[in-house]
Each structure stands twice: as structure tokens, then as C-alpha cells.
């Protein structure tokens, strides 16, 4: 048998084997068996010396073609088998993605504090700082300095917890106004969120402890229009872009003029529904221009400065926002309740 | 304050009769500052009862007392006669042909909410019911001529007597309540403490008129005629009674008039109706007059039976301490010298401004009455009323401060009404003890300043119009306004600005945004930011934020097993708490947290983790001359799965997240905290400073709170943590040279806290010791009784070179020497 026939035979043998190889190991063995130092093709080429000068280049070329063919076939098969192996692995690794995830505990911020956080964010953006004041407070800061001297009938509207004759639990965050004005110089833009206390028994809509956010702005040339504008921003931010506000004259001893503020009902948009008791409006806060006597008492000249103040009830806003109907839930610490927010 | 609409509007030319008109008036008044609480219809319960004419009456065959009537109840186009005739069976004995009677139609509602339906009475069809006063919820006594039992027959009632048949026929088919004048609308107003003048029908009428005239621009006038007294009696008031004011500081004006030949009887229907609608019970003409004037003018009045003024002399004086007086409501009151009494020669006959004495009450046979109209100091009345626990219509008016001018008008009005009602003869003259006549007050103000302050552009004419409608005299050229005597709340320019603004319309003020002279940068303080960081970290660790009450029960100290004299027991006490359970300001967060956990446990919540940043209130040395310290604590608490070390891990994660530097843990002082598990109590120190504690609750305390034994709590002092926070962390170059790692295991007494060993290793390891990690703790046979083995993985590294074995050996030797000498430890081999 001639060398040429030999080559063809090797190639045929190779083509059969490569088609049958099913694991990478077999292909590696074939590479050694055909192309290795002692491989079949190498063996044939070694016998080239016995060929004639005419035959040698022809056979050489032929052998070379077969070698290239073998190398290509081998690497092609290797790729195919690797790919197959990868696919099998992926298939094996598949999981039921609808099985539950490993539980991780995640706590929630208190809904009351979430409202306070949002308000802080809003007002800080408008140049306000956040002030703080004591809850156990002197009568002076809670009442006297705010034009509510001893014996003033408006004191009756705020059932006060007293500690001593001169010390009490603050009934309003307005006391912080006085601390701020006493300790620094205008201009001021502050909000003061915090706990306040009134001797109300606990029920679905009352609590002896609740939260207010006080606002105070004092500067040259502050007008009631500025107060209205500020409250409009607040109302839209808190209750939605289409919210309208309405001011009604009212009386607070420490502001003059004073107003109560209604927002258009967040449930019906002002048409009248159960939430707003058919009124279309819901009262959300009290406000006014800081009373000149209050400014004077804190050493601020009302001829030069004017300002406004407002007080927002947080619980009410939180109840509306989160659909809470019983105020008591805020203070019970039930994780099933708290975890929802 | 309940204002009957008909009464209020009688002093104005406002027409508001329909439901819609009254609602509109009410809502406009709310917008001008007279807040409407509710609008209620009186007699609204009765519906579909009309006047009918009885055309025919014949006996009922199956009854000896029932009669069958044909009643004309108005037009009916479908009927042949053009009239709607109903057959109604009645048992009323006074039914008669030609009687105009109230007829309840099918579906009508009568008093008590009963609905009338067509039906049959003993086999005869009856299409409605004819009504008595009672069935309409009315009082026959209000309608002289009418009968108490039996049907109302319109033309028998005095006020309908003498009407022509045509006039009476005009009533057929009309609503009976309207015909009888029994319906009315009452607006309930919230009166703020600055508006004593609005605690009266006249005051509200004035507000209504100014609202209609200025705010809505519909135009309206307020009109209150001055009272005119004829003074019919020959007697002079001074001959009958004398008045001495011994406390003029608390009683700036005291006025009196006398009425002789008093005829006690019921007051007329119009007066009783107005009183009833305003929520005041009608009693007799004299008492009704005092109440009527109080409601009308806002000036409380008192009427004394002259026979009960012993010595015929009234003295206004401070009460003696312990003085007793039985008030009209038959309760004996004990007074003191801070209160004011009206006394006769022998003793008190009224608590000034609060309530009269029982003995001076007007009786059926009272012959002569003395009317009092006075001004008492508001604060004195308020305090007195509060002390004796008796807040009355009268005291709530006095405490707001009343007007001396109105005081005089009200007294004349009472006398005028006595004459109008024929209740007696008014004596000549008025007793008037007026020690400090009130001067008109000039209030400085200017048009431009008001516009600038409110942010509006009202004209001077607009302002003058509003202020004059309100009773002010305006002198803008001179720069001031004189408020009316009854407006003691108008003291300075801001007050005048409010008056202008509320009738200019708050809702016409244009919104603007703060311009300010300087733009201001807002933001949070460092402490506020850190609190927020704590809150976010803890929610990330699975804790829910709670809010608990700052006050609680003093019994919690026993529940916590605190010994007598424990500093936590020294709490700030509320003098008027809602109850013992809410009577002391908390000194510890432990009870608050455990109560919350207990509620969760009671609801069978398997696992609860809660936190709160809030205050405890600690008395300082100077308390009560100084406010208590508001100490901010960070409290974590939970039960369910955290074992001690899981919980400690959370505490450490928190410390790392807020970047607290140099913290350390020590075994806690169990004796000082009997509410904690003595073997599972850890004290946290930060920068060498006490920063709170954490650990497991004592099982006895857990049982007392009905919470699981595995309950953990941490109470950390916020300021101690925050003071040690690294605000801006500094980058440390990542290591360039390799680390050398060594393990070391030492055997030592098991009572030695691991933390101490760890601390010592770090000390001795020096600057090249990069980390020290405990990886094994073993107690058992291999190390012997009372011993334990601690194994640490140590890593050494230098920032500037590769360490040699020699460097590390040296450090290891120092470490070993240290633990041997400090703790008697030996190397475990």
C-alpha cells in the first residue's frame, strides 16, 4: 500500500473517531494518537524520505492538509463539547425561583416620625433649621411669654399637666419660639417638631401625648402673604399638587392676625365626602403673624421685624396619610402595625 | 354660643330664610372669623304635617268614641272639586266642622320620630292623622287658647283669633310648624377668648352685618335701638336698696335698678322661643328677662328678691376664708378671700359673677326685684369658678372681660323688658358705683403699614368702612383709631390689621414667597443627623421604631425590683395626672420598652424588635429651680430569637455604623440593676465614659411584665455616643507589604472576661498587631476544671516593610508574658 493510500486511510479513521468522541478526554487522546510525536500521521510523514523528489512535495502538501484538517476538527469538537458541558451544568443548577427568599428582618421608621422627616426635608429645602426645646417646661415659655398670663381664659382650652406652679409639660411647641428668639438674633427660619402634652383621656382621636411641628419665621418685611405662600407649598407637598388652602380668622394669643387653615379634602378633592364630613375642607393647622408683644418680650423690635408662626398637628396628618383610624395604635408599639410603614 | 337666626338677624336687614341662605351666611361668617360649629333646625323632626279644614264629621258605626271626618288639605288638580279631601278617623273629642287642624299626611313624621301611614280604624279607611300639640312636640302653654288634650284648632288660639275666613283658608296645605312659628334655625358659634362681645346675640348680629356688608359685598346694616325706660313707679331705687363696693379693684362698676309691683308669670312665647332655641330653659318672666338680656348683650344679670336682702344693703366684698354659701343649685360652697361675694348685712347672697345664692331666688310672690348689672374682674371670677368647680354661662362671660358701657345698656334693657312684659313697675333712677370710668383708647395705625404687614392693597376707604362698621372711630389723618368700648381686644396696630384683613378677606390675600434680606441656608445639626443615622441603621438591622409615653406609673419601680432610695425612683411628678398610671415622668426607658414588648407578646407575636430615641427626665441637683435634664437615650429591645450575642452584635453594628470610636464592654454592675439578668449584663463605655448598658432582662421582671425570658434590652446614652463619633473618616493607605499570621491559645481561669485578654493582647502586640480575632473558646476535660482555653488568630503587619520572623516573635513573646503575668495564663500546647 502506498503512502498516499495510507494518508487517506488515516484521515478516514480520524474522521470516524472524532465524530464518535463524546468527552474532552477522548479528543485529547486522539490528538496524541494522530498528531503526537508517535502519532500515526507523524509516523507516515517520517516515511517521506523514501519518496521520490516529484512525489515528495505532492504527498507533503497532502499530509499537511490532513494535519490542518485534524487540528481544526479537534478544536471544533472541543468547543462543541465544552459548550455542551456548560449547558448541562446550567441545567443542573436551575432552581425554582418561586421558592421563598431567605428572610431578612427589616424594621420601619415610625409613621409619625416619617411625617416629621418629610416636613424637615421640605422646610430645610426652604432654608429652615430644626430647633428643639424642653418638654418639661417653665410656665413662662409655654404661656406667659406667648401672651397667656396666669388667669387668661385661653389657658382653659389647653388642659395642662402641671409639675409645680411654675413648671409644666408643654402644651404646644410654640414654647420653642421663645427659646429661639431669646437665644439668637433674627432673621430666623426654624421648625420645631416635638411631643406636646394635654390632659385628654386616650381614645381613638385623642391622646395626652401627641406631636406638633412649630414653624417660625422672623425677618424684615415678612407679610401675611408670605405665610400664605409658605403654607401653600406645605399643603401641596403634603397632600398633593392639586390641594388648595383656605384661611379662616381665628384667635391665638401669640399671633395677630391669626388664622386656622383648612386644606381641600384629600379624599374627595373638595366635593364633600365622609372624610371631610361633607365640608370639602379639613382643618390642619393654626397660624398667624407673630404678635408684636411676643417679639418685644424677646428683645426684637416689631417696628423693624415681623414674622409668622404656624403649628401643625402631626398625628392628624399621619392618620390621613396612612389611613390610620385609631390614634392609639401609634403608641402601642405593636410590630405588626409598625412594620407596615 | 347658640344664636337663633331669627333673633340674630332681627338686628340687621339681612334676609336669610331658606336653608341655603342660612348656610351661605354661616359659611361667610366662618370666613370672617365667627367660626360656625353647626347649623341646626329646631322643629326639623316634624315633616309633612299641614293645616287642614274639617269639612264633615260623622260617627263611626263600630265605635262609641271614634268619628269619621273629611278634611280638606289643599289643592288637587286631579280631583273633580279641585281639592284634596282626605277621610280621617279620629278619637279627639274636640273635632268640629270648620276647624282648621294640623293634619299629618301619609308618610308624615311627628314627635318622637313616629311615621304616620294610611290605614284602617275598626274597618274604616283613615288617610292620615289630626294632631295635638304634644304630637308636634309643642307645649300647649306657649299657645294660649289652645287645648292641652285634643286637637289643635287654629282659630281657637289667641294669636289666630279674629282672622278672616279667607286668611285662615290661606293656611290650608301649609306646613304647620311654619304657621305656628315653631320652627327656627340656630347657628352654634365657637367664640374665642378675645371676643367677649361676640358672646352675645348683638355681637354676632354685628359680625353678621359687617360680613354681609364688607366681605361678600351684598350690603347690610346693623341696627340696635337704645333701650328706653319709662320708669313708671313713684319710688326711687335709692329708697329701696343701698349698694357699697368694698373691693372696687375687683368690681369697677356695679349698677342696680329696682322693680316694684312685680307680677311673676310666664314670659311671652317669642321670648321663651328665643331662650329655648339658645339653649336656656324658660322659668318665669323676671328670671327669663335676666337670661334674655345676658344672651342679647352678653352681660350677665342677676335678680334679687328684695325681701332676701337683709338690711336692704348690697355689699360687694372679698369673701372671708371658709365663708359658706349655698348656691341656687342647692350646693353649699366654701369660699376664700380670693373670691368676690355679693353680701347683705348678714352674709353672702351670691358668688359674684358665678351664681346667686339659693335664698335670694325669685319666688311666686316676690313683690320687689333688684336687678344687678355689674363688671367683675375676669381673672377673679375665673379662678373662683374653677375653685368651687362651678363654671356657668355667667362666669364664662365675666372671665373674658366685660364692657362697662354695655353694662349700663343691659340694665336699661332689662327695665325696658319689664315694662314691655308688664312684669312690674320700674323705679326711678339707677344705682351706679363706677369707680374707674373707662376712657376711649387711641390705637395707633396707618393705612400703608397695615397693607405692608398683611401684604394687600386695601384703600383707605375700604379700611375706614370696615372699621366704622365694627364700631370704631377712624382718624387715619391723625394716625389712630378709637375702638368701641366693647372691643378691649383692639390694643395695637396688629389688632387693627387683623380687623381689616378678616373683612377684606383672608382668602383675597395674595400668596407670596419669602424673599428675606439674606438667603438662608437651612439644615440639620450634627446631633440631628446622628439621630437619623441611628434610626436608619436600626431599621436596617430589623428594628421597628416605636413611640412610647413619656410618663408612666410609679409602680414600675417595684416591678423593676428597685430598692427604696434608688435614684431612678426620684422622678418628676405630675401634680394633676390623668391617673396614677400616667403620673411620673420616666427616669428609665426599660418600663416603656417592656410594656410595648408585652403588648406584642400578648398578641402572640413570635418575634419583636423595637427601638426608640427619646428622653428620660432626670432631676438635677438644683431641681425644681432648674428644669430636669432631658437625657436622650437610644433604646433597643426585643424578644423571639436574638440570643445575647446576636443582640450584642446589633449593638456593635450600630456603634460601627455611626462611627463611634474607642468603645469597650465591661461586665455590668448587677447589684445596681436588679431588673437585669446578673450574668448577662454588659456596660458600654465610649472613650472611657459610661455610655449605657445592655443585656437580658431578669426572669422575675420578665414574668412581671409577662414577656419571654429571652427579652433583651439596650439603653444607650446618645450624647456619650455622639461625642465620640468620627465625623470625617480618614483614608488609611491599603497595605503594600504582606501580613504575618500567628495563632495563640492560652489556658486561664474561666472567670477572666475574654475582653480583658483581648485588650491586653492588643496593648502588648503594639503597632504591628493589625488584628486579633478570637476563634475558639473551650472549657472541658482537656483544660481541667475551672479553666478555659482562648484561641486567637493574630495578624501582624508594618506599613513600611516586610516583617521578619524576629519582629513577630518579639511581639508574640510580649503578648504571652502579658497574659501569663496578668491572668496567670499558660500557653496551650
Phi and psi torsions of B410, nearest 5°: -65, -40
B22: domain CATH number is: 3.30.56.10
Tell whether B729 is covered by a domain.
no
At the top level of CATH, which class does the domain A111-338 belong to?
Answer: alpha beta
Mutate to test the interface with A, among B353, B545, B601 (most CBs of A within 10 A): B545
Mutate to test the interface with A, among B522, B533, B607 (most CBs of A within 10 A): B522
Residues A191, A213 contacting (CB under 8 angstroms): yes
Q: Are strands B473-475 and B480-482 parallel, antiparallel or unpaired?
A: antiparallel
Q: Are residues B533 and B681 in the same domain?
A: yes
Q: Do A107 and B627 make contact, defined as CB atoms within 8 angstroms?
A: no
Q: Are residues B256 and B362 in the same domain?
A: yes
Residues B299, B354 contacting (CB under 8 angstroms): no
| CA neighbor of B237 nearest in space, from B304, B316, B318 | B304
Chain A CB contacts of B545 under 8 Å are 107-110, 113, 338
Q: Do A257 and B498 make contact, defined as CB atoms within 8 angstroms?
A: yes
Q: Are residues B263 and B161 in the same domain?
A: no
Going through B539-628 in order, the beta strands assigned E by DSSP cover 544-545, 551-552, 584-585, 608-618
Q: What distance in Å separates residue B31's CA from the closest CA in chain A?
A: 5
Closest residue, chain A, to B619 (C-alpha)? A136
Tell whether B570 is covered by a domain.
yes
Axis crossing angle, helix B447-454 with helix A224-239, rounded to the nearest 10: 20
Q: Is residue A104 classed exposed, middle or buried when 0-12, 13-18 and 19+ CB atoms within 10 A define those classes? A: exposed
Q: Do B520 and A223 make contact, defined as CB atoms within 8 angstroms?
A: no
Residue A309 in this model has a pLDDT that exceeds 50? yes
Tell whether B610 is covered by a domain.
yes
Residue A254 in this model has a pLDDT that exceeds 90? yes
Q: Are residues B7 and B98 in the same domain?
A: no
Tell whether B823 is covered by a domain.
yes
Chain A CB contacts of B611 under 8 Å are 107
B816: domain CATH number is: 3.30.70.380
Q: What's the DSSP call for residue B215?
A: I
Per-residue pLDDT, averaged over A120-127, amounts to: 93
Rounded-to-integer distance, Cα B127 and Cα B140, Å? 25
Q: Are residues B269 and B390 in the same domain?
A: yes
Q: Do B400 and A153 make contact, defined as CB atoms within 8 angstroms?
A: yes
Rounded-to-integer distance, Cα B687 and Cα B657, Å? 17
| CA neighbor of A230 nearest in space, from A324, A119, A305 | A119
B542: domain CATH number is: 3.30.930.10
Mutate to test the interface with B, among A105, A141, A246, A291 (most CBs of B within 10 A): A105
Rounded to 5 degrees, what angle do the CA atoms A193, A195, A200 make? 135
Residues of chain B with pLDDT under 70: 44, 516-519
Tell whether B226 is covered by a domain.
no
Residues B200, B10 contacting (CB under 8 angstroms): no
Tell whether B669 is covered by a domain.
yes
Q: Are residues B304 and B322 in the same domain?
A: yes
Q: Which CA distances in Å does B58 have to B111, B248, B518, B553, B598?
A: 28, 75, 93, 78, 78
Q: What is the pLDDT of residue A1?
A: 58
Residue A241 in this model has a pLDDT that exceeds 70? yes
B244: domain CATH number is: 3.50.40.10
ipTM for the complex shown: 0.86
Rounded-to-integer distance, Cα B772 and Cα B761, Å? 8
Asked if B603 is an interface residue toward chain A (Cβ–Cβ < 8 A), one would say: yes
pLDDT digits (tens, 9 = 90+) for A175-222: 999 999 999 899 999 999 999 999 989 998 899 999 999 999 999 999
Q: Are residues B391 and B499 in the same domain?
A: no
pLDDT digits (tens, 9 = 90+) for B785-796: 999 999 999 999
Q: Is residue B571 classed exposed, middle or buried when 0-12, 13-18 and 19+ CB atoms within 10 A define those classes? A: buried
Closest residue, chain A, to B547 (C-alpha)? A331
B550 vs A126, A195, A246: nearest CB: A195
Q: What share of chain B is helix, strand, coil (3-state, %, to 5)?
A: 30, 30, 40
Q: Are residues B430 and B449 in the same domain?
A: no
How is B488-500 classified by DSSP, letter by letter? TT--SHHHHHHHH
Domain boundaries, chain A: 3-93, 111-338
Residue A49 in this model has a pLDDT that exceeds 80? no
* Residues facing A282 on adjacent strands: A263
Q: Do B454 and A257 make contact, defined as CB atoms within 8 angstroms?
A: yes
Phi and psi torsions of B163, nearest 5°: -75, 145
Chain B CB contacts of A291 under 8 Å are 494
Residues B42, B228 contacting (CB under 8 angstroms): no
Q: Do B513 and A124 make contact, defined as CB atoms within 8 angstroms?
A: no
Rounded-to-integer distance, Cα B100 and Cα B108, Å? 18
End-to-end Cα spacing for chain B: 93
A162 vs B575, B599, B608: nearest CB: B575
Q: What percent of chain A has pLDDT over 90?
A: 60
Residues A60, A15 contacting (CB under 8 angstroms): no
Residue whose entry in the numeric block shows the C-alpha cell 429591645: B637
Phi and psi torsions of B504, nearest 5°: -70, -35
Q: Are residues B640 and B692 in the same domain?
A: yes
B574 vs A156, A163, A230: nearest CB: A163
| CA neighbor of B417 nearest in space, from B547, B550, B557, B275 | B275
Residues B372, B301 contacting (CB under 8 angstroms): yes
Q: What is the pLDDT of residue B145?
A: 84
Neighbours of A184 (CB within 10 A): 11
Grid coordinates in use for B365? 310672690
B517 vs A150, A154, A219: nearest CB: A219
* Residues facing B350 on adjacent strands: B342, B356
The DSSP H or E segment spanning A79 is helix A55-93
SS3 B570: coil
Q: Are residues B190 and B265 in the same domain?
A: no
Check residue B640 and give left, alpha or beta (phi > 0: left; psi -120 to 50: alpha).
left
Q: Are strands A129-130 and A188-197 parallel, antiparallel or unpaired?
A: parallel
Asked if A187 is an interface residue toward chain B (Cβ–Cβ < 8 A), one would say: yes
Q: What is the pLDDT of residue B269?
A: 85
B512 vs A127, A129, A226: nearest CB: A226
Asked if A278 is an interface residue toward chain B (Cβ–Cβ < 8 A), one would say: no
Q: Are residues B395 and B476 in the same domain?
A: no
Domain containing residue B378:
237-434
Residue whose entry in the numeric block shows the C-alpha cell 392639586: A242
How is A154-174 classified by DSSP, letter by letter? GGGGS-PPBSSSSEEE-S-TT
Grid coordinates in use for A76? 471544533
Q: Do B575 and A130 make contact, defined as CB atoms within 8 angstroms?
A: no
Q: What is the pLDDT of residue A45?
A: 77
Q: What share of chain A is helix, strand, coil (3-state, %, to 5)?
A: 45, 20, 35
Q: Do A161 and B574 make contact, defined as CB atoms within 8 angstroms?
A: yes
Rounded-to-integer distance, Cα B781 and Cα B105, Å? 103
Q: Do B528 and A152 make contact, defined as CB atoms within 8 angstroms?
A: no
Residues B337, B323 contacting (CB under 8 angstroms): no
Grid coordinates in use for A125? 429645602
Q: Are residues B241 and B334 in the same domain?
A: yes
Q: What is the pLDDT of residue B517?
A: 45
Q: Order the strands of the B184-190 sheet from edge to edge.
A: B2-4, B184-190, B35-42
Q: What is the pLDDT of residue B516?
A: 56
Per-residue pLDDT, averaged over A26-55, amounts to: 83
Grid coordinates in use for A277? 364630613
How many structural domains compose chain B? 6
Chain B CB contacts of A109 under 8 Å are 535-536, 539, 545
Rounded-to-integer distance, Cα A7 and Cα A12, Å? 9
Neighbours of B611 (CB within 10 A): 27
Amino acid at each position: 500500500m502506498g503512502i498516499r493510500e495510507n494518508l487517506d486511510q488515516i484521515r478516514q479513521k480520524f474522521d470516524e473517531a472524532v465524530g464518535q468522541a463524546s468527552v474532552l478526554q477522548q479528543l485529547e487522546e486522539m490528538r496524541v494518537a494522530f498528531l503526537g510525536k508517535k502519532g500515526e500521521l507523524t509516523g507516515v510523514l517520517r516515511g517521506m524520505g523514501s519518496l521520490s523528489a516529484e512525489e515528495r512535495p505532492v504527498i507533503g502538501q497532502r499530509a499537511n492538509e490532513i494535519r490542518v484538517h485534524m487540528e481544526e476538527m479537534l478544536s471544533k469538537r472541543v468547543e462543541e463539547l465544552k459548550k455542551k458541558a456548560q449547558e448541562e451544568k446550567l441545567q443542573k443548577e436551575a432552581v425554582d425561583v418561586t421558592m421563598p427568599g431567605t428572610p431578612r428582618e427589616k424594621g420601619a421608621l415610625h409613621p409619625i416620625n416619617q411625617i416629621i422627616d418629610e416636613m424637615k426635608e421640605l422646610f430645610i429645602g426652604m432654608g429652615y433649621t430644626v430647633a428643639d426645646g424642653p418638654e418639661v417646661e417653665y410656665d413662662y415659655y409655654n404661656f406667659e411669654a406667648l401672651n397667656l398670663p396666669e388667669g387668661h381664659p385661653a389657658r382653659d382650652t389647653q388642659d395642662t399637666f402641671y409639675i409645680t406652679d411654675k413648671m409644666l409639660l408643654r402644651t404646644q411647641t410654640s414654647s420653642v419660639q421663645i427659646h429661639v428668639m431669646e437665644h439668637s438674633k433674627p432673621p430666623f427660619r426654624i421648625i420645631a417638631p416635638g411631643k406636646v402634652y394635654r390632659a385628654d383621656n386616650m381614645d381613638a382621636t385623642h391622646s395626652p401625648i401627641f406631636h406638633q411641628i412649630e414653624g417660625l419665621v422672623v425677618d424684615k418685611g415678612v407679610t401675611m402673604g408670605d405665610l400664605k405662600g409658605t403654607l401653600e407649598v406645605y399643603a401641596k407637598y403634603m397632600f398633593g399638587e392639586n390641594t388648595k388652602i383656605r384661611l379662616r380668622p381665628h384667635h391665638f394669643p401669640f399671633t395677630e392676625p391669626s388664622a386656622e387653615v383648612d386644606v381641600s379634602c384629600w379624599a374627595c378633592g373638595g366635593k364633600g365626602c365622609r372624610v371631610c364630613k361633607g365640608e370639602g375642607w379639613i382643618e390642619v393647622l393654626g397660624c398667624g403673624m407673630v404678635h408684636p408683644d411676643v417679639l418685644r418680650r424677646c428683645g426684637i423690635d416689631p417696628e423693624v421685624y415681623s414674622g409668622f408662626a404656624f403649628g401643625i398637628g402631626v398625628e392628624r396628618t399621619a392618620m390621613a396619610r396612612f389611613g390610620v383610624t385609631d390614634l392609639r395604635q401609634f403608641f402601642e408599639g405593636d410590630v405588626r402595625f409598625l412594620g407596615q410603614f | 354660643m347658640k344664636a337663633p337666626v331669627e333673633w340674630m338677624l332681627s338686628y340687621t336687614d339681612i334676609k336669610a330664610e331658606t336653608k341655603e341662605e342660612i348656610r351661605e351666611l354661616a359659611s361667610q361668617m366662618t370666613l370672617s372669623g365667627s367660626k360656625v360649629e353647626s347649623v341646626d333646625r329646631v322643629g326639623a323632626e316634624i315633616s309633612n304635617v299641614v293645616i287642614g279644614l274639617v269639612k264633615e264629621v260623622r260617627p263611626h258605626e263600630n265605635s262609641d268614641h271614634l268619628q269619621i271626618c273629611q278634611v280638606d288639605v289643599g289643592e288637587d288638580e286631579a280631583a273633580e272639586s279641585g281639592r284634596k279631601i282626605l277621610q280621617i278617623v279620629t278619637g279627639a273629642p274636640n273635632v268640629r266642622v270648620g276647624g282648621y287642624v294640623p293634619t299629618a299626611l301619609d308618610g308624615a313624621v311627628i314627635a318622637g320620630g313616629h311615621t304616620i301611614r294610611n290605614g284602617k280604624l275598626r274597618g274604616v279607611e283613615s288617610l292620615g292623622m289630626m294632631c295635638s300639640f304634644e304630637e308636634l312636640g309643642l307645649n300647649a302653654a306657649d299657645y294660649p287658647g289652645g287645648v292641652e288634650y285634643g286637637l289643635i284648632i287654629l282659630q281657637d288660639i289667641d294669636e289666630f283669633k279674629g282672622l278672616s275666613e279667607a286668611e285662615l283658608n290661606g293656611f290650608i296645605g301649609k306646613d304647620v310648624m311654619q304657621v305656628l312659628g315653631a320652627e327656627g334655625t340656630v347657628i352654634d358659634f365657637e367664640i374665642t377668648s378675645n371676643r367677649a362681645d361676640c358672646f352675645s346675640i348683638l355681637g354676632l348680629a354685628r359680625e353678621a352685618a359687617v360680613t354681609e356688608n364688607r366681605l361678600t359685598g351684598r350690603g347690610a346694616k346693623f341696627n340696635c335701638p337704645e333701650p328706653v325706660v319709662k320708669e313708671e313707679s313713684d319710688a326711687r331705687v335709692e329708697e329701696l336698696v343701698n349698694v357699697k363696693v368694698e373691693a372696687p379693684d375687683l368690681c369697677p362698676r356695679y349698677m342696680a335698678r329696682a322693680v316694684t309691683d312685680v307680677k311673676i308669670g310666664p314670659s311671652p312665647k317669642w321670648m321663651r322661643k328665643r331662650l329655648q332655641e339658645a339653649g336656656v330653659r324658660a322659668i318665669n318672666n323676671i328670671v327669663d328677662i335676666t337670661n334674655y338680656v345676658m344672651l342679647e348683650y352678653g352681660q350677665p344679670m342677676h335678680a334679687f328678691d328684695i325681701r332676701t336682702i337683709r338690711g336692704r344693703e348690697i355689699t360687694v366684698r372679698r369673701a372671708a376664708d371658709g365663708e359658706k354659701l349655698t348656691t341656687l343649685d342647692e350646693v353649699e360652697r366654701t369660699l376664700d378671700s380670693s373670691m368676690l361675694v355679693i353680701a347683705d348685712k348678714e352674709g353672702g347672697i351670691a358668688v359674684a359673677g358665678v351664681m346667686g345664692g339659693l335664698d335670694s331666688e325669685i319666688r311666686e310672690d316676690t313683690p320687689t326685684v333688684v336687678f344687678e348689672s355689674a363688671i367683675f374682674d375676669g381673672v377673679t371670677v375665673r379662678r373662683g369658678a374653677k375653685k368651687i368647680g362651678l363654671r356657668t354661662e355667667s362666669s364664662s362671660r365675666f372671665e373674658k372681660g366685660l364692657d362697662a358701657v354695655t353694662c349700663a345698656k343691659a340694665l336699661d334693657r332689662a327695665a325696658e323688658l319689664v315694662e314691655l312684659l308688664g312684669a312690674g313697675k320700674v323705679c326711678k333712677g339707677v344705682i351706679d358705683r363706677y369707680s374707674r370710668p373707662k376712657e376711649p383708647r387711641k390705637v395707633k395705625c396707618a393705612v400703608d403699614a397695615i397693607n405692608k404687614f398683611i401684604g394687600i392693597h386695601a384703600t383707605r376707604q375700604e379700611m375706614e368702612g370696615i372699621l366704622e362698621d365694627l364700631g370704631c372711630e377712624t382718624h387715619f389723618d391723625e394716625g389712630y383709631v378709637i375702638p368701641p368700648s366693647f372691643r378691649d381686644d383692639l390694643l395695637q396696630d396688629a389688632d387693627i390689621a387683623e380687623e381689616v384683613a378678616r373683612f377684606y378677606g383672608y382668602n383675597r390675600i395674595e400668596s407670596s414667597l419669602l424673599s428675606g434680606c439674606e438667603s438662608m441656608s437651612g439644615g440639620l445639626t450634627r446631633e440631628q443627623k446622628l439621630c437619623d443615622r441611628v434610626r436608619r441603621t436600626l431599621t436596617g438591622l430589623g428594628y421597628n421604631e416605636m413611640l412610647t409615653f413619656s410618663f408612666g406609673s410609679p409602680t414600675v419601680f417595684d416591678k423593676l425590683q428597685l430598692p427604696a432610695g434608688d435614684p431612678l425612683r426620684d422622678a418628676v411628678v405630675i401634680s394633676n395626672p390623668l391617673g396614677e398610671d400616667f403620673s411620673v415622668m420616666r427616669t428609665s426607658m426599660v418600663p416603656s420598652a417592656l410594656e410595648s414588648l408585652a403588648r406584642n407578646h400578648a398578641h402572640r407575636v413570635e418575634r419583636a424588635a423595637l427601638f426608640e430615641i427619646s428622653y428620660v427626665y432626670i432631676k438635677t441637683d438644683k431641681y425644681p429651680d432648674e428644669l430636669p435634664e432631658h437625657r436622650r437615650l437610644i433604646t433597643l429591645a426585643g424578644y423571639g430569637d436574638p440570643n445575647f450575642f446576636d443582640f450584642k452584635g446589633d449593638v456593635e453594628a450600630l456603634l460601627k455604623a455611626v462611627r463611634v470610636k474607642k468603645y469597650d464592654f465591661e461586665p455590668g454592675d448587677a447589684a445596681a440593676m436588679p431588673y437585669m439578668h446578673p450574668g448577662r449584663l454588659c456596660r458600654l463605655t465610649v472613650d472611657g465614659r459610661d455610655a449605657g448598658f445592655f443585656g437580658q432582662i431578669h426572669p422575675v421582671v420578665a414574668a412581671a411584665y409577662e414577656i419571654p425570658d429571652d427579652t433583651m434590652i439596650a439603653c444607650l446614652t446618645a450624647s456619650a455616643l455622639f461625642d465620640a463619633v468620627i465625623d470625617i473618616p480618614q483614608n488609611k493607605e491599603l497595605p503594600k507589604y504582606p501580613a504575618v499570621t500567628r495563632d495563640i491559645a492560652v489556658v486561664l481561669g474561666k472567670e477572666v472576661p475574654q475582653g480583658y485578654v483581648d485588650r491586653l493582647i492588643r496593648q502588648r502586640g503594639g503597632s504591628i498587631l493589625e488584628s486579633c480575632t478570637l476563634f475558639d473558646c473551650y472549657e472541658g476535660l482537656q483544660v481541667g476544671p475551672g479553666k478555659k482555653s482562648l484561641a486567637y488568630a493574630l495578624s501582624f503587619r508594618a506599613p513600611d516593610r516586610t516583617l521578619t520572623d524576629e519582629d513577630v516573635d518579639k511581639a508574640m513573646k510580649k503578648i504571652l508574658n502579658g497574659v501569663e503575668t496578668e491572668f496567670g495564663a499558660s500557653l496551650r500546647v
